[in-house]
Amino acid sequence: MTSTDHYLDRAVARARLGPARDRNPRVGCVLVAPDGEIVGEGHHRGAGTPHAEVAAIAAAGGRARGATAYVTLEPCAHHGRTPPCTQALLEAGVAAVVYAVPEPTASATGGAARLTRAGVAVEQHPHAASYALVADWARAAALGRPHVTWKIAGSLDGRVAAADGTSRWISSPESRADAHALRARVDAIVVGTGTALADDPALTARTPEGHELATQPLRVVVGRRELPAGARLRGGPSPVLHLRTHDPREVLRVLVEHGARTVLLEGGPTLAGAFWAAGCVDEVLSYVAPVLLGSGAPAVPDLGVGTLADAPRLRLVDVARVGPDVRLRLVPAGAASEPGPASLLPTTTRSLQED
């Protein structure tokens, strides 16, 4: 491990002290004197608070002059709710800046160039832990909205419920545990009022034994119908947001304001079809159970496809066996290959070739 990696690891550790769900990314900064001594550390504490570089400079005081700043994300060059970090670094007399992840947003980019023009030695040093820290935020910044994963659990013939409406349980316990791990990974779970009324879900992330996990997503219900007073969604460990709209883009706009960068779409075919039609599905995670139903609710709504040539195509990214089921991870054809949150699911699956 190089000294640069060591200092960036320290910066990542500081960054993780910041809020995991915030409109801004988690960022850490470490100031190192020419003799290698750490003279200041800081992290971003949330929207509207001083950025990591400013916090580290405050901790270092006069010792920041001549130091090298190791930052997980390129210092910003724009004036938002707080002044630009580049200006703070220049005023503090920092001699060099090493950053790990280039700023992905057009409004804030240009910090490295500004520092270089001012005579500061600037280096971009790739660092996996720094990128992992902001991957969800960077992906959402590139999309201009949260990344949406549509999760489907269905039969081999594409049904999500039998003719009598029963749907528990099409998928296996192993698949359900896999899906709960994803729930704990995302910022928000979204269902429609139809699913909320028909299934009375809790939408919590739980262990196979039914215990709630420490990390819980924001639970979101979309639609105008009221939830019953005794609905399971009215209790539980995390907030519930009821959005009385049918517009997927409005839903995602509100979720951005709540700090959500990753969304798991678990509603029925109607809600999923609306998100698909709006171009707001980035990833499909399909659990296919080895069962045939023959009739019942389809996994996918009518998409208005009149002929095979008009059918939307998806690209298979990953396939795995989860208990008796098969898990398919797909993205719309032509979409970028940037992995979504489902790519980080626990590797408890077996390859299809093992048997």
Exposed/middle/buried for 331, CB within 10 Å: 0-12, 13-18, 19+? buried
Residue in 41, 53, 74, 174 annotated catalytic: 53
**Distance (Å) of CA 353 to CA 155, 171, 331:** 22, 21, 23
35 is in an annotated binding site: no
Q: Does the annotation place 169 within a ligand binding site?
A: yes
Output the six-digit token pair for 256: 């951005």
Please tell me whether 84 is known to bind a ligand.
no
CB 241 within 8 A of CB 218: yes
The DSSP output letter for 350 is B
- Is 268 annotated in some ligand binding site? yes
> Cα(10)–Cα(16) distance, rounded to whole angstroms?
10
Q: Is 167 annotated as belonging to a binding site?
A: yes
First to last CA, the chain: 39
Q: How many other C-beta atoms lie within 10 A of the C-beta of residue 109?
A: 15
Q: Tell me if 297 is assigned to a ligand binding site.
A: no
Consult the annotation and say whether 110 binds a ligand: no
For residue 252, say whether it is annotated as part of any ligand binding site: no
Please list the alpha-helical segments (H only) found in 106-158: 111-117, 128-143
234 annotated ligand-binding residue:
no
Q: Is 53 an active-site residue?
A: yes
To the nearest 10°, report the CA torsion of 335, 339, 341, 346. Answer: 140
Q: 10 Å Cβ neighbour count for 147?
A: 27
Report how far Cα 154 is from the mean position of its chain's Cα atoms.
24
The answer to the question of whether 76 is labelled as a binding residue is yes
269 is in an annotated binding site: yes
In the sheet that holds 68-73, the strands lie side by side as 38-43, 28-32, 68-73, 96-101, 121-124
The three-state secondary structure class of 147 is strand
Q: Was 133 annotated as part of a binding site?
A: no
The answer to whether 166 is annotated as binding is no
Q: Is 51 labelled as part of a ligand binding site? A: yes
5 known member of a binding site: no
Q: Establish whether 183 is an annotated binding residue.
A: yes
Would you list which residues are annotated within the binding site for NADP(+)? 153, 169, 195, 199, 268-274
Binding residues: 51, 76, 85, 153, 167, 169, 183, 195, 199, 203, 206, 266, 268-274
Would you name the residues annotated as active-site residues? 53
Residue ranges at the known binding site for substrate = 167, 183, 203, 206, 266
Binding-site residue numbers for Zn(2+) are: 51, 76, 85
